[in-house]
Amino acid sequence: MMLLGRGLDARDNQTRQMQDAVSNVEKHFGELCQIFAGYVRKTARLRDKADLLVNEIYAYAATETPNLKVGLKNFADEFSRLQDYRQAEVDRLEAKVVEPLKCYGTIVKLKRDDLRATLTAKSREAKQLSQLEKTRQRNPSDLHVIAENELHRASLDATRTTRHLEETIDNFEKQKIRDIKNIFSEFITIEMLFHGKALEIYTAAYQNIQNIDENEDLEISRRMLRKDEEEDEEEDEDDEEDDEEDEFDATKEMMLTWIHSCLDCVTSLLNTPAHSLGIKGLRLFC
């Protein structure tokens, strides 16, 4: 009796723990799903604004002197390319983070059905076992009526079901932790690929802006304004500025070459897990 009482307590405890665990996952995965979906939406809104920026830069560039025009257009090209990667980021977060979290609703429901069925079986078997025990204790003389092996079989059935329940809970816990690890790893990998690409693209875009030869454009402006008047020469000042610019550009150039080689390294490493580490479907990014 004592042993069966403890068994029932333990079962109640297991049931409560299991129900709490399932409800908790249902609640928090639901919330995470909603907030991640919001994060993805806001990323898409940011891309929309960036698209507007691209269009406005093209429109402005079209009105400008040749060097500024080319520099701004090239910047807009790069910035637009980055928005394609942002769109890929949005699509991938939707597919690899939001969707799996959304699916968890169904998974939790199936798990709950499985657990309920197992619990019902366990409860029925425990009652049967308890009944057999009681009968044996009340009528020890009727021992022949209740075959000893029947009692034994019922006891084995109850143990087997208990084990099945434990395994079901165990599998649920195992799948949950794996899914969390997987979803968060996907989130981080998708974000990292975007940030890596952003660094690479901005490096090129920076060069586009730095390459704008303002002195040549100023010369063109001057020539346009003075085409009916006499030319004069005030080139000394500009020449000095040219020297400063050259020095500035040389340092930048060196820095950017270094950053580029670093980025090549990061990029090739970011490519690695896509092939060899089983994070599939992210190679399009690279």
List the interface residues with a copy of itself, window 236-275 (CB under 8 A): 248, 251-252, 255, 258-259, 262-263, 265-266, 269-270, 272-273
Q: How many residues bind a copy of itself (CB under 8 A)?
A: 91
Binding mask 200-229 toward a copy of itself (x if CB under 8 A, else -) reads --xx-xx--xx-x-x--xx--xx-xxxxxx
**128 or 211, CB closer to a copy of itself?**
211
Q: Are 79 and 205 in contact (CB under 8 A)?
A: yes
**150 or 166, CB closer to a copy of itself?**
166
User: Looking at beta carbons, which pairs linking 275-279 to residues 24 or more positions away fall under 8 Å?
Assistant: 279/185, 279/186, 279/189
Smallest gap from residue 123 Cβ to a copy of itself (A): 16
Contact status: 181 vs a copy of itself (CB under 8 A): yes
Contact status: 2 vs a copy of itself (CB under 8 A): no
**50 or 151, CB closer to a copy of itself?**
50
| Residue of the chain from 92, 104, 189, 282 that contacts a copy of itself (CB under 8 A) | 189
| Residue of the chain from 7, 77, 91, 114 that contacts a copy of itself (CB under 8 A) | 7
Contact status: 38 vs a copy of itself (CB under 8 A): yes
Smallest gap from residue 142 Cβ to a copy of itself (A): 30
Contact status: 19 vs a copy of itself (CB under 8 A): no
Smallest gap from residue 71 Cβ to a copy of itself (A): 8
Smallest gap from residue 181 Cβ to a copy of itself (A): 6
**41 or 124, CB closer to a copy of itself?**
41
Judged by CB under 8 A, the chain residues 130 through 149 that form the site for a copy of itself are: none
Smallest gap from residue 243 Cβ to a copy of itself (A): 15
**30 or 136, CB closer to a copy of itself?**
30
Contact status: 70 vs a copy of itself (CB under 8 A): no
Helix 214-226, helix 66-93: angle, nearest 10: 130
Contact status: 13 vs a copy of itself (CB under 8 A): yes
Q: Are 60 and 72 in contact (CB under 8 A)?
A: yes
Smallest gap from residue 87 Cβ to a copy of itself (A): 15
DSSP assignments along the chain, one per residue: -HHHHHHHHHHHHHHHHHHHHHHHHHHHHHHHHHHHHHHHHHHHHHHHHHHHHHHHHHHHHTTS-HHHHHHHHHHHHHHHHHHHHHHHHHHHHIIIIIHHHHHHHHHHHHHHHHHHHHHHHHHHHHHHHHHHHHHHHH-GGGGGTS-HHHHHHHHHHHHHHHHHHHHHHHHHHHHHHHHHHHHHHHHHHHHHHHHHHHHHHHHHHHHHHHT--HHHHHHHHHHHHHTTS-----HHHHHHHHHHHHHHHHHHHHHHHHHHHHHHHHHHHHHHHHHHS--TT-GGG-
Contact status: 10 vs a copy of itself (CB under 8 A): yes
Q: Are 127 and 135 in contact (CB under 8 A)?
A: no
